[in-house]
A and B are shown apart, each in its own frame.
Chain A
Amino acid sequence: MSAGRHLLQIRGLDRADVESFLELAEAHKRAHLEGRTLQPLRRRVVANLFFEDSTRTRSSFEIAARSLGADVLNWTARGSSMAKGETLLDTVRNIDAMGPSVMVIRHSSSGAAALVSRHVRASVVNAGDGTHEHPSQALLDAFTLREKLGTLEGKRVVIVGDILHSRVARSNAHCLRLLGAQVVLCGPLTMMPRGIEALGAEVAHDLDALLPDADAVMMLRIQLERQQAGLFPSPREYARLYGLNAHRAARLQKHAVILHPGPMNRGVEIANDVADGLQSAILDQVQNGVFVRRAILERCAA
């Protein structure tokens, strides 16, 4: 396995690395369904360091860590020494000195997890760094898609939305490609980073044309405040071109899976009836997230 003790990004991993995370996650899911408990992290400490707000990812890592028997330190930037002007490196060196086995880090700066990993003894898990990567999300998406589609080999996955600001899109582009899928990144030019093709993905701007051939569509959250910067004219105009409504969803194949990393803007990038419809796997993603994160923590703490 080429992955080290950290999980910083999907880029640079090989297929076997990704497969081994997914297999371990499957084992955890099976154990859970059979009512068995595995507690390999008993008396170990997992530090959740969330320099940026998050509910879903932090809770998911916390539940995963506790179910593995670990003690969990939940640290948030608000009201902390960071708020008093301490640097990122000083903060993490101090927490590292308390001896956690794993640090789970969410930070608004791209590359922050990689920076931290060079300065601490703990293993570092990137829980989202700026607009760079969100590897645990990509692994849980791949896990969910494999459950639904059987395999990702040759499947066509369309990722739709603000690719420029999306760490989910970058991690997924790498991960899905490693597993043999074709990845299409679809969004307006204002939110499409130039040169993103170098990740090995196709770039497209016409969502309607892509739907009939898609095996899965992943709708990204659109941050409504980006309207002020002129990245899109209005939520209405955005939805007109890139929102997944019932009319558009009807053009999907019956087996096609609809994903969303959350939190959703219902009525903008995804319509209510689609989000709650039969093809939606959005809550499966959340459920599987716990098993995937158990696998990540177990592997990185080893």
Chain B
Amino acid sequence: MSVQALVIEGGRLIDPANGIDGVRHLLLRDGVVELASEGPIVPPPGARVIAAAGKWVLPGFIDLHVHLREPGQEGKETIATGCRSAVAGGFTSIVAMPNTVPPIDTGLLVKFVAERGREAKLCRVYPSGAITRGQKGEQLTDMAELRDAGCVCLTDDGRPVMSSALMRRALQWALPLGLPLMVHEEDMELSAGGWMNEGPVAARLGLLPIPASAEVAMVARDLVLAEDTGGRVHFAHVSCAASVRLIRDAKRRGLRVTAEAAPHHFTLTDEAVEGWNTHARMNPPLRAREDVEALCEGLADGTIDAIATDHAPHSVADKACEFDCSANGIVGLETALPLTLELVHAGRLSVRRAVELLTVGPARVLGLPGGELSAGRPADVTIVDPNEEWTIDASRFYSKGRNSPFDGRRVKGRVQVTVVGGRVVFENGDVKENG
């Protein structure tokens, strides 16, 4: 059954890849963008018209870093509930992290994730696969098999590849396959025993510290290995000022590396951990003010290519416990847009750059379709009301997770409509199941 054609009328179309920022009318048909026009569009027979005057019409958001928890931890999230959360947050494409139970380290498992994603019929789900078998950091996975099964990048996310020799060989094996390696940078010996960022807050709360050098030393190592091998490295959830500096310098020297930052890392400092707040526990941990500043600069100047949520849903019991027993991470998909817009409202980021970081930026990191709205591109669109003020309410998340340090935060700017492949999958607060 073909999808009803859709005309989105009179919105402010912001399409950074094509240098467009102005009022346009958009025609979506047969799953692709047919036309973005300055003049009015006569709706084809049977088409639905969405009036978007005063709204922003954007390429659908792309999240490179999502933990969907299936298979194995369906109590925290399933691929279906994660997809609901995604479209509610304006995301039309998400990359599923492979640290499930078992980890995604065979072609069969990659196909399972892709199939469950298709069954959810909401957004596009791109599987990633592990760099090492079982994410144990000991033996490489069958990377060509993973790629041929549909995996878009390789990562042991949640863990680093501690062995430099193995990392070097992983880069060499993956290079001719065209698969980027997404790296979680943490020297496990430097971070061992630590619970939060090193500094006055950790000292005061009596939480053993994780030094910034645990991340920075591994970023430095992998820049060296990327240069050495010519391999493609993407730095996941960069959190430290010194990491941003190293990546900026490497890019200036022409290295083909990319990086992402998570909204919680550019919004909150480690002060959020006050009171042993388990909702502020993540890995990498929330950092100091100067790190937050450096991330904002990196987002603005292109050092950081993408905003990625590191969506990490957990059950209530995983967080209602002692700080050192609690799980890492927060629900990210449904709060990414307003937190990104906080930087726009504060004058730290242009609207165009903010949109770029959520759309064509991540698309280019992994060479994914979408991220722009020229004719022939996928009809993935996110319509945003930039002026709506609202209060984040974790109890109303579409995710199974309720773990958010942003619960109760007053924000401005909200996703109104999400369109995937020309089909409305989210509208005015409601996910349209199997529409």
Partner of A195, one of B200, B320, B325: B200
Within 81-110 of A, Cβ neighbours of B (below 8 Å) are at: 87-89, 107, 109-110
Binds A, one of B4-12, B110-118, B203-211, B353-361: B203-211
Question: For A107, A197, A198, which residue has the most chain B Cβ atoms within 10 angstroms?
Answer: A198
Residue A235 at the chain B interface, CB threshold 8 Å = no
Once A87-B317, A111-B276, A115-B276 are accepted as A-B contacts, the answer to whether A194 and B203 lie under 8 Å apart by CB is: yes
Residue tally, chain A, CB below 8 Å to B: 28
Question: For B193, B198, B276, which residue has the most chain A Cβ atoms within 10 angstroms?
Answer: B276
B191 to chain A, nearest CB (A): 13
Within 177-194 of A, Cβ neighbours of B (below 8 Å) are at: 193-194
Q: Are A199 and B204 in contact (CB under 8 A)?
A: yes
Q: A167 vs B320: C-alpha distance in the bound complex, in angstroms?
A: 23
Residue B202 at the chain A interface, CB threshold 8 Å = yes
Q: Are B207 and A110 in contact (CB under 8 A)?
A: yes
In the bound complex, residues from chain B placing their C-beta under 8 Å from that of A229 are: 193
In the bound complex, residues from chain B placing their C-beta under 8 Å from that of A114 are: 275-276
Q: Are B276 and A195 in contact (CB under 8 A)?
A: no
B326 to chain A, nearest CB (A): 10
Residue A164 at the chain B interface, CB threshold 8 Å = yes
In the bound complex, residues from chain B placing their C-beta under 8 Å from that of A5 are: none
B19 to chain A, nearest CB (A): 46
Partner of B206, one of A87, A110, A195, A197: A110
Binds B, one of A16-24, A25-33, A127-135, A257-265: A127-135
Q: A11 vs B276: C-alpha distance in the bound complex, in angstroms?
A: 14
Q: A89 vs B326: C-alpha distance in the bound complex, in angstroms?
A: 13
Q: Are B275 and A196 in contact (CB under 8 A)?
A: no
Q: Are B320 and A89 in contact (CB under 8 A)?
A: yes
Residue A170 at the chain B interface, CB threshold 8 Å = yes
Residue B323 at the chain A interface, CB threshold 8 Å = yes
Q: Are B324 and A110 in contact (CB under 8 A)?
A: yes
Q: Are A109 and B203 in contact (CB under 8 A)?
A: no
Residue A125 at the chain B interface, CB threshold 8 Å = no
Within 199-238 of A, Cβ neighbours of B (below 8 Å) are at: 199, 229
Closest to A195 in B: B200
Closest to B275 in A: A114
Residue A297 at the chain B interface, CB threshold 8 Å = no
Residue A139 at the chain B interface, CB threshold 8 Å = no
Closest to A194 in B: B198
Within 314-329 of B, Cβ neighbours of A (below 8 Å) are at: 317, 320-325
Residue A112 at the chain B interface, CB threshold 8 Å = yes
Q: A217 vs B5: C-alpha distance in the bound complex, in angstroms?
A: 80
Q: Are B321 and A194 in contact (CB under 8 A)?
A: no
Q: A11 vs B205: C-alpha distance in the bound complex, in angstroms?
A: 10
B427 to chain A, nearest CB (A): 39
Q: Are B322 and A107 in contact (CB under 8 A)?
A: yes
In the bound complex, residues from chain A placing their C-beta under 8 Å from that of B198 are: 193-195
Residue B199 at the chain A interface, CB threshold 8 Å = yes
Partner of A199, one of B203, B317, B321, B323: B203
Q: Are A195 and B199 in contact (CB under 8 A)?
A: yes
Residue B149 at the chain A interface, CB threshold 8 Å = no
Residue B201 at the chain A interface, CB threshold 8 Å = yes
Q: A129 vs B256: C-alpha distance in the bound complex, in angstroms?
A: 47
Q: A267 vs B201: C-alpha distance in the bound complex, in angstroms?
A: 34
Once A193-B203, A194-B198, A195-B201 are accepted as A-B contacts, the answer to whether A110 and B209 lie under 8 Å apart by CB is: no
Q: A56 vs B387: C-alpha distance in the bound complex, in angstroms?
A: 61
Partner of A196, one of B203, B208, B276, B321: B203
Within 270-291 of A, Cβ neighbours of B (below 8 Å) are at: none
B397 to chain A, nearest CB (A): 23
Q: A199 vs B202: C-alpha distance in the bound complex, in angstroms?
A: 11
Within 180-226 of B, Cβ neighbours of A (below 8 Å) are at: 193, 195, 198-209
Closest to A132 in B: B206
Within 119-171 of A, Cβ neighbours of B (below 8 Å) are at: 129-133, 164-165, 167, 170
Q: Are B324 and A130 in contact (CB under 8 A)?
A: yes
In the bound complex, residues from chain B placing their C-beta under 8 Å from that of A132 are: 205-207
Once A194-B199, A195-B198, A195-B199 are accepted as A-B contacts, the answer to whether A88 and B206 lie under 8 Å apart by CB is: no
In the bound complex, residues from chain A placing their C-beta under 8 Å from that of B202 are: 193-195
Q: Are B203 and A198 in contact (CB under 8 A)?
A: yes
Question: For A112, A131, A165, A193, which residue has the most chain B Cβ atoms within 10 angstroms?
Answer: A193
Q: A21 vs B409: C-alpha distance in the bound complex, in angstroms?
A: 39
Q: Are A115 and B204 in contact (CB under 8 A)?
A: no
Q: Are A109 and B324 in contact (CB under 8 A)?
A: yes
Q: A90 vs B205: C-alpha distance in the bound complex, in angstroms?
A: 24
Q: A222 vs B252: C-alpha distance in the bound complex, in angstroms?
A: 48
Q: A129 vs B205: C-alpha distance in the bound complex, in angstroms?
A: 10
In the bound complex, residues from chain B placing their C-beta under 8 Å from that of A164 are: 208
Closest to A131 in B: B206
Q: Are A87 and B203 in contact (CB under 8 A)?
A: no
Q: A110 vs B206: C-alpha distance in the bound complex, in angstroms?
A: 6
Closest to B270 in A: A195
Q: A41 vs B206: C-alpha distance in the bound complex, in angstroms?
A: 32
Q: A230 vs B269: C-alpha distance in the bound complex, in angstroms?
A: 30
B290 to chain A, nearest CB (A): 13
Q: A170 vs B199: C-alpha distance in the bound complex, in angstroms?
A: 15
B71 to chain A, nearest CB (A): 24
B289 to chain A, nearest CB (A): 12
Closest to B206 in A: A132
Closest to B323 in A: A111
In the bound complex, residues from chain B placing their C-beta under 8 Å from that of A88 are: 321-322
In the bound complex, residues from chain B placing their C-beta under 8 Å from that of A193 are: 198, 202-203, 209
Q: A131 vs B323: C-alpha distance in the bound complex, in angstroms?
A: 12
Q: Are B209 and A194 in contact (CB under 8 A)?
A: yes
8 extra interface residue pairs, beta carbon distance < 8 Å, beyond A89-B320, A109-B325, A194-B200:
A87-B321, A110-B195, A111-B205, A111-B206, A133-B206, A167-B206, A197-B200, A229-B193
Q: List 12 A-B contacts (CB under 8 A).
A: A88-B321, A89-B320, A107-B322, A111-B205, A111-B206, A111-B275, A112-B322, A132-B207, A193-B198, A193-B209, A194-B202, A198-B203
List residues of chain A with CB under 8 Å of any chain B CB.
Answer: 11, 87-89, 107, 109-112, 114-115, 129-133, 164-165, 167, 170, 193-199, 229
